[in-house]
Amino acid sequence: MFSLRDKIAVVTGGGSGIGKAISKLFAQQGATVHVIELNADAAQQTIDEIQSSGGHAFAHSGDVTNQQQILQVFQSISKIDVLVNNAGIAHVGNVEKTEEADFERVYNVNVKGAYNCLYAVVPIMKSNGGGVIVSMASIASSVGIADRFAYSMSKGAIHAMSMSVARDYLGDNIRSNSISPARVHTPFVDGFIAKNYAGREAEMFEKLSQSQPIGRMAKPEEVAALALYLCSDEAGFITGCDYPIDGGFIKLNN
């Protein structure tokens, strides 16, 4: 079950965290994985790890905010069965602490970046008889998260775009869903804590972990497992849905 053999998958932001876990799992399940990543060294590390385990993967240095660059990368891959829109950045601050430059930076990467990839991949999938798209939203697209104004805006847009694509391309055999994680333990989280809470790292890690009712953060591999299911043939009847993976955050924190 959940085989991706003979499938070609594109994962944006596959150099670390959730994107890296997805890339490695998809390759393990038989997909040829194309990692699009701004950090070329990080992308190559993911590729090296996949290839050392006998998988097939390729790295593409790409900026998701640059439409022409993304179009060229996607057209060079040609046949694409699966797209995971994962590339994204965060910003801490309420609306008063979100400068125009902050807002535009988050919008350009998280919203425009996902749009650029959708714009590039849909014609390819149509010409190849269909495909599957999974876009990484967040619990912030469903509930209010303190001091995440711009980030929440961007993830709400991801959710809405994912649903729109699902509706528009039902007849083209293209499935589109989104995943909404709560906090996931990634290098970004460790870096954020180290930068903002120097000397209190362990305390803040525990506090952030306990903010999930289940008592811990998610592992990137757990999000990857959900993405694998949604991109597999076993999920062929699923489109236009958002899947929280949140340790009970949305339903049990109220």
Residues in the chain: 254
Q: What are phi and psi of 180, to 5 degrees?
A: -120, 90
Q: Which of 107, 119, 151, 243 is catalytic?
A: 151
Quick check: is 119 catalytic?
no
- CB-based contact 23:11 (threshold 8 Å): yes
Q: Which helix (H) or strand (E) holds 32?
A: strand 32-37
Q: Which residues are paired to 33 by β-bridges? A: 9, 57
Q: Which residues are paired to 132 by β-bridges? A: 82, 175
What single string gives the DSSP state of each residue in 204-227?
A: HHHHHHHTSTTSSPBPHHHHHHHH
Active site residue ranges: 151
